[in-house]
Structure 1
Amino acid sequence: MTKHLQDAIGQTPIVELTRLDLPERVRLFAKLEYLNPGGSIKDRIVRYIIDDAEQRGALRAGGTIVENTSGNTGAAIAMLAATRGYRAILTMPDKVSREKQDTLRALGAEIIVCPTAASPGSPDHYVDTARRLHAERPGSFMLNQYDNPLNAEAHFRTTGPEIWRVLKNQIAAFVAAGSTGGTISGTGRYLRSQKSEIRTVLVDPIGSIYHSYFHRGVVDPSMIGTYHVEGIGEDHLAECMDFSALTDVIQVEDGDAFATCRDLARKEGLLCGGSSGANVWGCLQVAKTLRAPATIVTVLPDSGVKYMSKIYNDDWLIANGFGEPTTPGLISRCPSVGSLQSKRV
């Protein structure tokens, strides 16, 4: 029996996706990380880092946690802060969905919204804002998720082993997007320690620097741009991202990620966020390169409930240049009351 909320973190189910367009004898499995109690894969790293901080005395009773987040890490922090009596101050870019912002406030966190377009190193950038707030509050604790090696270690010790116990030697590839790099680095490193032939493929949105850095070894400022998928890609190199754990990096467009989200909902019954769509889209690309039989595994980091005003909102998609949604089965608008005709039975 689970005694504490944090004990429900991890051991999420793995399901096979069977209705997507995969090559013959290539199987695709997804770990449902949105079933963690805080609603995302970030519960794992937040618990791991906070536990370590408490053990070292870096975080004391009644203390304040300051962190930059795209929403999911913030939700995990707010959740655990509420159960352990901490104050949470969270910074985030303004592209973060309203649902995520409202969730953090509901959990008692203070949030500071920063412009997405702010460049790294500027005082308005959400990472630099968090660092400044941390420095201004003696005794506060910052997870520093982008550069903290415990981020990847949490996945090396939990996510990777959980996947391996279920799928073992049949795994040919692990595919995942990343921002801090913790998931792909830690999980990929563990899986490759069990079977070195496993491919670990990072899915990177256009506008992020990871693709060009992996393939050309340089950070090209001209490649940095804005994109709509939340929680993946980056405009600076996160120290947590271990490029030696990767075998390839491929690029994804917003529209492909969002279209795949809708496919997951209508074909697999899985309502997921944009990073999940990017991950599964990446799996479908990698599947074309594998020699069958082969098995691919990925993670679905968070739920689509957090993006109903964006990914699953037709008006938002059209307004942001993604065209008319083609997903069948969408609810049509009801006619006015006056236009309805009653029928006798």
Structure 2
Amino acid sequence: MKPNYPTLEQTIGRTPLVRLQRIPGDLAQARGNVILAKLEGNNPAGSVKDRPALSMIVRAEQRGEIRPGDTLIEATSGNTGIALAMVAAIRGYRMILIMPDNLSLERRAAMTAYGAELILTPASQGGMEYARDLALRMQSEGKGKVLDQFGNDDNPQAHIDTTGPEIWQQTEGQITHFVSAMGTTGTIMGVAAYLRDCNEAIQIVGAQPAEGAQIPGIRKWPEAYLPKIYHADRVHALEYIGQPEAETMARRLAAEEGIFAGISSAGALVAALRVAARVQNATIVFIVCDRGDRYLSTGVFNQES
């Protein structure tokens, strides 16, 4: 009998959960806290967004809304676009991605490598909000179907089905706090929904940008653009993260823990450390949502820590 080899999409998920050893320091140890990193950069397209990308396309297929050969459209700041481009390549779709022009060169190159068409919009005209409006306008003109990660319940459902159960199993139900950067909010919404069903005492903490901070992957949306999938009552606390501290933590995470991660992941760790400083005997899990090589052209890893 021949081995049953997996397809690429079957390798999405089941990512490692690892304990930080040096950054938490003596204070966390003295307080009996452990900080765990969920390494989503281990997904095949390099981020946590592989999960909702697959979910949104497969579930739309199952509902008969799309079929291979169709054109899909999405506004993205990077990771979702890369993941959608990969899944579109696997399943036979044409992918049009709309992205503000101030985001990293690595993200652009990854999207086009998977065969996606990339439309860059002027960041000066509104960034992601402008990109989202353009995607909907193109859909109304019959140029393709918008998957809409911001309003599509298939986004958080991916994390209810996979990320949440993995974290619960990997911590053997010991998790007390879950910390995630907030962008589209799909990750924090889905994981929160699952974990609170397992134990309603688990605290959900979101990382948002401090005033003036521009951290890729962490957003605070204007009211008119607030993701429809977001439910504020699922998040118990918000931590506001400054850009310099997120960038410094990204360098520390690589140099002190060997985890080469993106800036929003480091922001989530900043939030997790704040939680660890005020609780005891806690098991704190934060999402490392992507890999640091996606940010090399920004120069953030060239600076002194």
Q: Taking structure 2 as the reference length, what is the TM-score of the superposition?
A: 0.92
Is the 1:185–1:243 contact (alpha carbons within 8 Å) kept by the matching residues of 2?
Answer: no
Q: Supply the distance in 2 between the matched residues of 1:298 and 1:312 (Cα, whole angstroms).
A: 21
Aligned CA RMSD, in angstroms, stands at 1.7
Counterpart residue number, 1:229 = 215
Matched, 1:15 2:4: no
Counterpart residue number, 1:301 = 289
Highest Rg: 1 or 2?
Answer: 1
Equivalence map 1:66-145=2 (5 Å): 66-119=73-126, 125-137=130-142, 140-145=144-149
2:205 counterpart (201, 204, 221): 201
* Counterpart residue type for residue 203 of structure 1: A
Q: Taking structure 1 as the reference length, what is the TM-score of the superposition?
A: 0.82
List gaps (5 residues or longer) in structure 2.
none
- Shift in Å, 1:120: 8.1
- Shift in Å, 1:2: 4.1
Taking a change above 3 Å as real, the CA distance of residues 127 and 184 of structure 1, as seen in their structure-2 partners, is same
1:32 counterpart (27, 32, 39): 39
User: Residue 158 of structure 1 aligns to a residue in which SS?
Assistant: helix
Counterpart residue number, 1:46 = 53
Taking a change above 3 Å as real, the CA distance of residues 163 and 313 of structure 1, as seen in their structure-2 partners, is closer
Q: Supply the distance in 2 between the matched residues of 1:96 and 1:9 (Cα, whole angstroms).
A: 25
Counterpart residue number, 1:332 = none
- Shift in Å, 1:313: 4.5
Q: Runs of 4 or more off by more than 4 Å in structure 1? A: none
Q: Supply the distance in 1 between the matched residues of 2:42 and 2:261 (Cα, whole angstroms).
A: 11
Is the 1:152–1:185 contact (alpha carbons within 8 Å) kept by the matching residues of 2?
Answer: yes
User: Residue 171 of structure 1 aligns to a residue in which SS?
Assistant: coil
Q: Supply the distance in 2 between the matched residues of 1:311 and 1:280 (Cα, whole angstroms).
A: 20
Counterpart residue number, 1:166 = 170
Counterpart residue number, 2:266 = 277
Taking a change above 3 Å as real, the CA distance of residues 60 and 28 of structure 1, as seen in their structure-2 partners, is same
* Counterpart residue type for residue 137 of structure 1: G
Counterpart residue number, 2:254 = 265
Q: Supply the distance in 2 between the matched residues of 1:117 and 1:194 (Cα, whole angstroms).
A: 44
| Structure with the higher helix share, 1 or 2 | 2
* Counterpart residue type for residue 281 of structure 2: P
- Shift in Å, 1:93: 1.5
* Counterpart residue type for residue 110 of structure 2: T
Counterpart residue number, 1:243 = 232
Is the 2:48–2:289 contact (alpha carbons within 8 Å) kept by the matching residues of 1?
Answer: yes
* Counterpart residue type for residue 166 of structure 1: Q
Among all aligned residue pairs of Structure 1 and Structure 2, give the percentage whose two residues are the same amino acid: 39
Is the 1:174–1:200 contact (alpha carbons within 8 Å) kept by the matching residues of 2?
Answer: yes
Is the 2:215–2:264 contact (alpha carbons within 8 Å) kept by the matching residues of 1?
Answer: yes
Q: Supply the distance in 2 between the matched residues of 1:71 and 1:93 (Cα, whole angstroms).
A: 9
2:65 counterpart (58, 74, 77): 58
- Shift in Å, 1:117: 3.7
User: Residue 200 of structure 1 aligns to a residue in which SS?
Assistant: strand
Taking a change above 3 Å as real, the CA distance of residues 193 and 121 of structure 1, as seen in their structure-2 partners, is closer
Kindly provide the CA deviation profile for residues 114-170 of structure 1, in whole angstroms up to 9, marking residues without a partner as x. 123434897xx11111111122225x2221000111211111111000000011332
Q: Supply the distance in 2 between the matched residues of 1:82 and 1:188 (Cα, whole angstroms).
A: 31
Which structure would you say has the larger RCO, counting Cα contacts within 8 Å and 6 or more residues apart?
2
Taking a change above 3 Å as real, the CA distance of residues 245 and 101 of structure 1, as seen in their structure-2 partners, is same
Taking a change above 3 Å as real, the CA distance of residues 256 and 52 of structure 1, as seen in their structure-2 partners, is same
